[in-house]
Amino acid sequence: MNADTSPNTAPSTSQPVDPSQNTSAETMLSVRDVTLAFGPKVIQHDISFDVKRGSIFAVMGGSGCGKSTLLKSMIGLLRPAKGEYLVGTENYWAGGDQDRVRIGRRFGVLFQSGALWSSMTVGENVALPMQMFTSLKPHTIRQLVELKLGLVGMLHAIDQFPSELSGGMKKRAGLARAMSLDPDILFFDEPSAGLDPITSARLDELILNLRDGLGATIVLVSHELSSLFAIADDGIFLDPDSKTAIAHGSPTWMRDHCDNPMVHAFMHRERTAPTSDGDR
């Protein structure tokens, strides 16, 4: 991302920006001057960035800075106090509920826990969005479920219940369900949380395969540095003190070239001084 001031690409603040970003790729999601708040409590303000088609975009920052709040807002669970989200050319919050439901169908979400229905098999979990939102016939749904589970290496577990799965398998099954309706954008909340390093590395590989093999566009929240360096093409770093973005670029660029002390410390796993909110 360069410091271009065209409305499609420019962060509104003067944070350090990675100059190596591909600004010509199609923008799938544009976050424009967004402020997030719970009542009078502002969590982040004036956040702007673009997510490009076929890229992996990471929302980064220390604990409590507002990563999950931003993700929640991007998937339509929290209306921003100010600013807008453009999904392709559509303004997510500008229309009515029906418009939001329609646009939201273009999103697939993988929650931290996998969020599978415990009383349904893996196959039934993946089939559910298709049964709810399409008029596909049962045998077509079954074929699609098998396809999605095959993509994440979980076809063998189609008839198992979530309680029979390991943490990594639950994530994979959750991923298959997130892809159930062929979303334009996948959102992952801490995909590696709770996984051992090997399982986490396998999940990273799978996420890269989805990007490279299917051209998936992915937005994720993570503070797993090894995972961020391995998979993310672009990202934003949120600061809990100034309550806005303080760097914009790939995690490797932030690690190697960003001289903001907070970003540098985070990317190099250094301790920073406790802030007013305590030692995060």
Ligand X SMILES: Nc1ncnc2c1ncn2[C@@H]1O[C@H](COP(=O)(O)OP(=O)(O)OP(=O)(O)O)[C@@H](O)[C@H]1O
Q: Which residues bind ligand X (CB under 6 A)?
A: 38, 41, 43, 61, 63-69
**Judged by CB, which is closer to ligand X: 148, or 243?**
243
- What are the two backbone dihedrals, phi and then psi, of residue 61, each rounded to the nearest 5 degrees? 145, 165
Distance of closest approach, residue 277 Cβ to ligand X, in angstroms: 7
Nearest one of 196, 197, 205, 198 to 175, comparing CA atoms:
205
Tokens 């979980």, residue? 154
Measured in whole angstroms, the distance separating CA 221 from the mean position of its chain's CA atoms is: 5
Distance of closest approach, residue 159 Cβ to ligand X, in angstroms: 34
Burial tier of 248 (Cβ tally within 10 Å: 0-12, 13-18, 19+): buried
**Judged by CB, which is closer to ligand X: 122, or 254?**
254
- What are the two backbone dihedrals, phi and then psi, of residue 102, each rounded to the nearest 5 degrees? -65, -45
Secondary structure element (H or E) that encloses residue 37, with its range:
strand 27-38
Distance of closest approach, residue 267 Cβ to ligand X, in angstroms: 16
**Judged by CB, which is closer to ligand X: 43, or 109?**
43
Distance of closest approach, residue 193 Cβ to ligand X, in angstroms: 9
Q: Are 225 and 237 in contact (CB under 8 A)?
A: no
Distance of closest approach, residue 152 Cβ to ligand X, in angstroms: 24
Distance of closest approach, residue 5 Cβ to ligand X, in angstroms: 28
Distance of closest approach, residue 66 Cβ to ligand X, in angstroms: 4
Name residues whose C-beta falls within 8 Å of residue 68's C-beta, 6 or more positions apart in sequence.
189, 221
**Judged by CB, which is closer to ligand X: 17, or 65?**
65
Q: How far apart are CA 272 and CA 176, in angstroms?
A: 38
SS3 152: coil
**Judged by CB, which is closer to ligand X: 2, or 272?**
272
Amino acid at 31: V
Within the chain, where are the H helices? 67-74, 97-104, 122-133, 138-151, 167-178, 197-214, 225-231, 251-257, 261-267
**Judged by CB, which is closer to ligand X: 66, or 123?**
66
**Judged by CB, which is closer to ligand X: 91, or 113?**
113
